[in-house]
Amino acid sequence: MSSSAGSIVFDADVLVLGGGPAGTWAAISAAEHGARVVLADKGFCGTSGATAAAGTGVWYVDPVPERREAAMASREKLGGYLQDRRWMARVLDQTYAQSNQLAEWGYPYPADEDGKPQRNSLQGPEYMRLMRKRTKQAGVTILDHSPALELLVDGNGVVAGAAGLRRQKGDRWAVNAKAVVIATGGCAFLSKTLGSNVLTGDGYLLAAEAGAEFTSMEFSNAYAISPAFGSVTKTLFYSWASFTDEQGSVIPGASSKGGRSVIARALRKGPVYAQLDQAQAETQRHMRASQPNFFLPFDRTGIDPFTERFPITLRLEGTVRGTGGLRIVDDSCATTVPGLYAAGDAATRELICGGFTGSGSHNAAWAMSSGYWAGQGAAEFARQLGTTIGRQAFRRGTVGLRSGSGQPMHGGALARSVQDEVFPYELNYFREAGRLGDSLRRLDGLWSEASNAAASDEQELLRAREAAAMLATARWMYRSALARQESRGMHRRDDYPEPDDRYLHLVTTGGLDDVWTSARPLVSAQYSEAAE
């Protein structure tokens, strides 16, 4: 470690960006495989991000062939038959092992009536508190409140570290590393969902500036039910809800399997209300015990959700609960850029979820598994790279970082402009070529302006980069959505309302100034057979 010109410099074998479950698993794994590791978190590692703020299910299935088969088969139709069975099996194996590892580390799993531990869910605060502790015990250097601004690459295009801000110190940091793991989460577009304010697609932008590719970005229009006055987007309890309009009339179909779409259409006409009036007294007690934070907004406002109606909204969770992200090219979770690895929501979940994730269980399992593999892969890459004495590193950051000929870049205003294009249900939830095309023209115009601008000062720099990442993510999403001329998984097209076997493939995208898309065949033909 050294310091120079207002910044502190670290040397490491592996740098992990992001301190959620995927990032901490990656850091621990890399350290266990002999690497010197630095982890940089945008917030405080162990408390920031979607997992730390709530409980989550885990795709934990006992290694019984019939149960594993059922677990994989149950999701294939929902995901549009885009999954890869080999990866699903790998994740089930790895998640089982790591959940058991958590138990050995002291995570307080509950037991059922027969005394058998129940390892299919985790309470975020306890989980992430333990992960921070284990990360420190593994010898990892943690940089809290240290968002990354850009990647470093060498003359051959191999990733060579990253640089960023130390928000509490008021200076900069840089890490010279032989490999980097992007575990910065997805992009929820500052939609006020619980724990997602740090999830603005930052890692996507950094990776794209180094030339990385993305996949399944069309599966990014996940909206979650939330009280209009709160940020909690845990939706399981709405299975016990009745939904009514402003006059108190029941909204037909809102409580059905496809009720989210019905609610979205109703919200376009006026307020929608919910009441958890289908839950009996015993169920109500279980609800409060299992998800206490769900009830915090109600307790603060004096509303009893079981006996009173309350206004709801749908908040965009984007790629946090979507399946798109950085494309990985091998079992180590390597990306298309040498030395760069991806894990958790920053990486695609198409391999195990296809076009639909639904609840957090698959994402939680993916964070554990991909984090472990990415850390191991990065450590091995660093070992094979050997000495890097005399290696020159070049900064790859662009938009918002370099002075240009345009006006100063104001992150807040740009972020609001992006939200205007991704929040509306008629643009993102119910997609159609004309509306997507019009939105893309506006987004492309915003990018043209932003790419020639720089943040006005150091305080504005992080917000500018966040807004630029949101803007880039929206363009990849909508270009991919235009390319998939069908409805499959969570991707809905009003002009193509049915699935089409001609699109039984994956959509790859990339680029910054010029966004491109291409079709990529599935790994296995088994899905064509399943679809028949």
What is the set of active-site residues? Answer: 260
How many helices and strands, by DSSP H and E, does the chain display?
14, 19
CA distance 52 to 421: 29
Q: Where are the beta strands (DSSP E) in 292-436?
A: 310-318, 325-326, 340-342, 394-395
Q: 104 to each of 107, 109, 120, 340, how far by Cα in Å?
A: 7, 11, 16, 31
Beta bridge partners of 56: 122
Chain-centre distance for alpha carbon 347: 8
Among 522, 520, 425, 436, residue whose Cα is nearest residue 478 = 436
How far is Cα 295 from Cα 305, in angstroms, rounded to an integer?
8
* 326 CB-side CA count, 13 A: 36
Residue 12, Cα to own-chain centre: how many angstroms?
A: 26
DSSP 181-236: EE----B-TT---TT-TT-BSHHHHHHHHTT--EE-TTS--EEEEEETT------G
DSSP 422-488: HS-IIIIISB-HHHHHHHHHHHHHHHHHHTT-BBSSHHHHHHHHHHHHHHHHHHHHHHHHHH--S-B
Query: Residue 403 is encoded by which pair of tokens?
Result: 């002075």
Q: What is the DSSP letter of 3?
A: E
Element (H, E) at 151: strand 148-153
The H-assigned helical ranges of 33-84 are: 65-76
DSSP-derived secondary structure letter, 238: G
Query: What is the 3-state composition of the chain as percent helix, strand, coil, each rounded to the nearest 5?
Result: 40, 20, 40
**3-state DSSP of 84-105:** CHHHHHHHHHHHHHHHHHHHHH
Of the candidates 71, 73, 77, which has an alpha carbon nearest to the alpha carbon of residue 489?
A: 77
- Under DSSP, the state recorded for 26 is H
Distance of CA 110 to the CA centre of its chain: 27
* Residues 6+ away with beta carbon under 8 Å from 292: none
By DSSP bridging, strand 325-326 and strand 310-318 are: unpaired
The residues, ordered by sequence, that sit 6+ positions from 478 with a Cβ below 8 Å of its Cβ are: 436, 439, 440, 443
